[in-house]
Each structure stands twice: as structure tokens, then as C-alpha cells.
Amino acid sequence: MFDLNKTVSIIKGGLLEPGATWKTYLEESHDWKETLTLVAGPLIVVSAIAAALLSWIFGSQTLFGQRSGFWGLVLGIVAAAIGLVVTAFIFSFLAGTFKGKHDFSKGLAALTLAAIPAYVGVIIGPLPWIGWLLSLALSILSLVFLYRIIPAYLEVPQNKRVLHYGVSLVASFVIIFIINMTLGFGAYSTGQLGSSGEPAGTGQADNYGMLGEFGRQAELMEKAGQDVYEPPADGKISEAQMLAFLDVMRKTSELRSRAEAKIKRLEQDMEGKDESALSELGKLTSGFGAVVRTLATAEMEVVETGGGNWSEHQWVKEQLRTSAIQQDLNDAVSHNYKLYQKYAAQLDEYGETY
């Protein structure tokens, strides 16, 4: 049941005392319907309407925030709700894959609480001159909050935390983009976490932060998707291919380790400080988008920037996986399994044990 005082208290706490608020909300064990009614729904609707009114007041848009009027506002609210729910499902589903807890209710709660600063950013985004910058900073603060809240709510192990976070973010971005384009919501994104991670309607931000990083990521994925490789007829991995694969995995491991260290430094910088203070937000915006991109696409980036072939790399990985399972199924598998055994220690070091 909706309780205005409770809703206001949670939102205020999510901004000023996030850690304590997250702990209390988790202990109260709200299901997904309560989270939608109590926090997510009010945040989505109020932020959309308030942003529309401010846009109208400052002359940047029509009364209902989109040039298509009232129905543009409605579609924006629907798109934001779908984005939040889909993102919560992806984070909770992948948490199970990464040895955490697959719990949609807790996933939705985590996403909603972490996104509170981003929703505030949506509201102040239309303010002249500085609105878009504050909105961007608050969106990135929400991404940092999300990284911090996931272990408590979805119990992702420490050694899987960074990879789960990066993969979930990228998967959410891609899937929501496809949904929005398919349903015709592309023009109505309101910018909360779970959509693009950036405030909508802020053309100045297109070259900054997460949006720019996701754009580069999309270009990288498109380039890798164009790679073509014709496997050898005998299905055997060559020694040269194996060494090239190991080199890629070594560099990928190093890249991810550096990204994890950077996120931990950001997290440590925020410990014990007023996380709502604008003076701290600048520290979070610098380089954070690049870190997130690295977490999810490091392997692809190593291959592509090194002049490799992503399709060939994936073929080698699949053959190694098959050989580790089947071992002596046929001559090709036996050959590949011997290579796998020969370099098993290095594969294990780089997280490629099958």
C-alpha cells in the first residue's frame, strides 16, 4: 500500500544516508510489488512530470516535456518503468549466473534505491546552464551506488562482483535500446538508471561520461561483429592460435584488474563522506564510463585493438571448452584437449577454466 510519508522518508534517506537506508529497506523484506508502489512508481511519475513542468517553465519543451505533448509524457513514463524492470531482471538473473542470488524483488529494490540520485537528476536536468551537468553527475553517482548495493542485495561474491556489474550494465543498455526502438520509445527515454544512465534532452552531454563510452562500446561491438573466420577442416587448434589466445586472456585479465582497482579506489574515496555533496561528484564522473566499458568488453577490445579476429578468437575458446568436456570424442577434440592440458595452469590464472 502506498504511504506518502514512508516514500518521502526512503527517498530522502536514499540521498542523504544511503547506506543506512539500504540496510533498513533490505531488513524490511519488501517484495517487488511493494517496491513498485512505494518507491519506483512515485519516483518515475513525479520525476517525469516535474521535469516536464520545468522544461515548460524554462522554454526548452512543451508543457508535457516532449514535443508530442501529453502522450509523449505517458510514453516516457512507460519506457522508464520498462527500463527499470528489465534492468532489475537482468541484474538479478546474472547474479545467479555469477554465484550470487537470483531474486527479482531484491534486484528491483537495489536498482530503485541506487537510482534515486538519477531520478533527482532527471528533475533538475531542464535547469538552464548547469542542469544537464548536475543531472549527469547524479546519474553517475547512481551507478556508483548500484555497484555498492549489489553485494548486500544479490550476494554476488567479491571475486565476481566487478564482472557481474559490468556485464549486467552493458546487457541492460543493449536490451533496453532494442526494446525502446522496437516499441517506438526511442524518443521518450527519461534518462533514469536502467535506460541510458544519462539524462535525456541534454545534448551537451553527448560527448561526456557514460553515453560517450557506450557509444564507443557499440562501435567496438559492431566492428567485432563484422569479423569472419573460416575454421580449419580438421577442427584442430594450432599452437600459434593457442599462444595468441593466451596472450589475449592475459591482457584481458590485467585490464579487468586495473578497472576493478579503479572502482575500489572510487568506492574508498566515497567512504565516510557526504555522498550527496556536489563537491564529490566530480571525482566520480572522471573516467567512470571508461571503467564500466572495460569491465564488460575488455576481451573484445584486446582482440580488436591488437589486429586480431574476434570470430577466430571465439572459435578457439569454443573448441577449448568442448575439448575440456569431451576430451577424447574424436581426433580433433583429443588434439585440442592436449593443448588445453598443456596450458591449463595459465588458463586457470586468467579465469578460463572450463
Mean pLDDT of all residues in 10-21: 90
| Confidence (pLDDT) at 209 | 43
Residue scoring higher pLDDT (290 or 321): 321
d(CA 132, CA 120): 12
Burial class (CB in 10 A: 0-12, 13-18, 19+), 179: middle
pLDDT tens digits along 289-320: 556 666 667 888 899 999 999 999 999 999 99
Average pLDDT of the chain to the nearest whole number: 79
DSSP label of 307: T
- Per mean pLDDT, which range of 249-253, 261-265, 323-327, 342-346 is the poorest? 261-265
- Specify the higher pLDDT residue, 94 or 187: 94
* pLDDT reading at 279 higher than 60: no
User: Residues with Cβ < 8 Å from 28, sequence gap 6 or more?
Assistant: none
Helix runs in the chain, H state only: 4-16, 18-28, 32-35, 41-57, 70-97, 104-114, 116-124, 131-154, 158-183, 209-225, 239-270, 278-285, 288-305, 310-326, 331-342, 344-349
What is the identity of the amino acid at 243? L
What is the per-residue pLDDT across 107-166, written as a single tens digit (0 to 9) for each? 999 999 999 999 998 888 888 888 878 887 888 888 888 888 998 999 998 878 877 887
**Which of 72-76, 90-94, 222-226, 274-278 is the least confident region?**
274-278
Residue 155 CB burial class (10 angstroms; 0-12, 13-18, ≥19): middle
- Residue 188 has a pLDDT of 47
The total number of residues written for the chain in this structure? 354
Count the Cβ atoms, other than its own, within 10 Å of residue 149: 22
Half-sphere exposure of 171 (CA within 13 A, CB side): 16
pLDDT digits (tens, 9 = 90+) for 25-71: 999 989 999 999 999 999 999 988 888 888 778 765 544 444 456 66
Distance from the Cα of residue 121 to its chain's centroid: 18
Instruction: Cell numbers for 125, please give them.
Output: 536536468
Q: In sequence order, what are the residues at sequence separation of 6 or more whose Cβ sits closer than 8 angstroms to the Cβ of residue 17? A: none
What does the pLDDT look like over 46-59, one tens digit per residue?
A: 988 888 888 778 76
66, 73 Cβ separation under 8 angstroms: yes
CA–CA distance, 76 with 46 (Å, rounded to integer): 12
Q: State the Cα–Cα distance between residues 26 and 148, nearest whole angstrom.
A: 14
Q: Of 4-8, 154-158, 176-180, which range is least confident?
A: 176-180
Beta carbons within 8 Å of 310's beta carbon, 6+ residues apart: 224, 225, 227, 300, 303, 304
